[in-house]
């Protein structure tokens, strides 16, 4: 790999020899791949190699996963780089907490947070870029997260409308990306000696507003995928000086390194941070810090909002009747959360959802389905959030039938099956809904996701 000359010189000066040579040589080695299994699913994935677990993650494994398996399509596995997994592990939100993932796309860290929350509490996943927000929404839905709302707005707007609301805040900040050079060599082409400083200015702008949404006593997890001290220790030192944050210790597993006080203001507490260097650790470059906001949570008394947005309504009489009839004849397990409608779409939102007026919403909780004339039609995303035991009529399908399903084709079934909505299951994982009519399973797999094997 052709590293920028200024990059080489910078880290030769920071590391000294022989570590500088070891660090720079690591960019010539192959990056590692990893994936997590989804604890929100009822069954363990059956198509993945689970023989090489990652020591610091209950759900992480080394290895590649294919995007064209039922394990992946159903959300039972999520591909994620091994170092990036440690960010979620450090955050480790507790069930019932209110959590904000501020820079959330494409969704690796969001889904990891969701694994800890286990569909309890409230998770807001925000992404300012509209196209990336759509990718984030798709990954949240595939993972089967029922406690999560996805937004597409800027940090000042969130700070204005949600002051001191969250118990935990993750800022995986936009950065110079030095830690991803090995994985994405093109990232070297836009790097310059001043680029980390420019990124640090942007990070301070984001954090200036972000800290306002965190309650007193709440925890901020700050991470980057860069080695640059300007974006790592120096940002943490700035948070301590500017806002009085306390740097909390982060557990370090073998081959993980401590933060470097000498790369910032000399504060010894910076050793509580963790650095993942590719010449020492089996993964890409990462920096992670955990900080506590000054004050006590007793200062905050938040109540759930009665209304979350003027466009979001309660069910009218006709909709309530259609829903109750559908739930009675199809569900074994009641839907949790608060039921609301946006136009003709039915959603379940977390009970702790605040008033989101003024905040652009990309995904309003769990989309259950659509009210149509005299009927209710369940959504594909709802199927991925279900366990087979939740649904009254379940149809287990073969590998050939699954291939037809993801290609958008109909397929035959037992002619004796009653006409109705069936939860389709393959390899123990719900993969969508099908409507059985006269021995044929009608296909409702979304066109935008279809693929051929």
Q: Measured between alpha carbons, how far is residue 40 from residues 75, 142, 216, 275, 338 in Å?
A: 9, 11, 30, 30, 20
**48 is an annotated ligand-binding site residue:** no
Our answer to whether residue 225 is catalytic in this structure is yes
**75 is an annotated ligand-binding site residue:** no
Buried b / exposed e across 363-402, counting CB within 10 Å, b at 16+?
bbbbbbbebeeeebebbbbbbbbbbbebbeebbebeeebb
Q: Measured between alpha carbons, how far is residue 304 from residues 108, 347, 351 in Å?
A: 27, 17, 7
Q: Which of 175, 199, 225, 273 is catalytic?
A: 225
**154 is an annotated ligand-binding site residue:** yes
**108 is an annotated ligand-binding site residue:** yes
Six token digits for residue 373: 């004339």
Q: How far apart are alpha carbons 186 and 179 in whole angstroms?
A: 12
Angle 303-304-308 (CA atoms, 0-180°, nearest 5)? 140
- Dihedral sign for Cα 343, 346, 347, 353, please: positive
**282 is an annotated ligand-binding site residue:** no
**103 is an annotated ligand-binding site residue:** yes
**127 is an annotated ligand-binding site residue:** yes
The answer to whether 342 and 307 have CB atoms below 8 angstroms apart is no
* Full DSSP string of 251-293: ---TT-EE--GGGTT--GGGGGSEEE-TTTSSS--EEEEEEE-
Strand partners, 420: 436
**105 is an annotated ligand-binding site residue:** yes
148 three-class SS? strand
Q: Which residues are documented as binding site for S-adenosyl-L-methionine?
A: 103-109, 127, 154, 172
Q: Which residues are documented as binding site?
A: 103-109, 127, 154, 172
Active site residues: 225
């Amino acid at each position: 790999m052709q590293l920028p000359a200024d990059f080489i010189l910078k880290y030769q000066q920071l590391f000294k020899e022989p570590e500088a040579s070891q660090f720079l040589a690591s960019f010539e080695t192959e990056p590692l791949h990893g994936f997590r299994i989804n604890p929100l699913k009822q069954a363990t994935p059956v198509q993945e190699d689970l023989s090489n677990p990652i020591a610091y993650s209950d759900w992480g494994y080394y290895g590649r996963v294919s995007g064209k398996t039922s394990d992946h399509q159903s959300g039972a596995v999520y591909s994620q780089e091994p170092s990036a997994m440690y960010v979620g592990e450090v955050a480790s939100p507790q069930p019932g907490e209110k959590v904000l993932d501020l820079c959330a796309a494409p969704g690796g860290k969001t889904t990891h947070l969701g694994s800890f929350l286990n569909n309890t509490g409230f998770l807001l996943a925000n992404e300012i870029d509209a196209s990336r927000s759509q990718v984030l929404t798709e990954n949240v839905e595939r993972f089967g997260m029922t406690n999560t709302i996805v937004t597409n707005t800027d940090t000042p707007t969130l700070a204005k409308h949600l002051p001191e609301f969250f118990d935990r805040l993750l800022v995986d900040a936009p950065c110079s990306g030095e830690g991803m050079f090995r994985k994405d060599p093109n990232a070297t082409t836009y790097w310059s000696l001043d680029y980390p400083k420019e990124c640090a200015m942007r990070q301070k702008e984001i954090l200036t507003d972000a800290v306002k949404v965190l309650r007193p006593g709440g925890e901020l997890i700050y991470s980057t995928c860069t080695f640059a001290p300007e974006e790592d220790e120096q940002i943490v030192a700035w948070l301590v000086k500017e806002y009085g944050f306390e740097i909390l210790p982060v557990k370090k597993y073998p081959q993980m390194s401590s933060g470097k006080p000498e790369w910032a203001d000399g504060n010894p507490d910076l050793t509580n941070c963790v650095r993942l260097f590719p010449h020492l650790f089996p993964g890409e470059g990462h920096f992670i810090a955990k900080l506590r906001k000054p004050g006590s949570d007793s200062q905050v008394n938040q109540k759930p909002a009665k209304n979350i947005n003027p466009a979001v309504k309660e069910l009218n009489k006709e909709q309530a009747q259609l829903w109750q009839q559908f739930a009675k004849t199809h569900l074994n397990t009641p839907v949790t959360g608060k039921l609301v409608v946006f136009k003709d779409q039915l959603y379940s939102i977390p009970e702790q959802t605040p008033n989101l007026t003024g905040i652009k919403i990309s995904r309003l909780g769990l989309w259950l389905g659509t009210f149509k004339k005299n009927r209710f039609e369940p959504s594909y995303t709802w199927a991925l959030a279900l366990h087979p035991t939740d649904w009254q009529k379940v149809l287990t399908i073969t590998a050939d039938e699954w291939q037809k399903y993801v290609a958008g084709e109909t397929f035959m079934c037992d002619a004796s099956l009653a006409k109705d909505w069936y939860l389709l299951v393959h390899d123990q994982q719900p993969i969508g809904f099908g409507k059985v009519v006269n021995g044929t399973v009608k296909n409702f797999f979304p066109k935008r996701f279809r693929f051929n094997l």
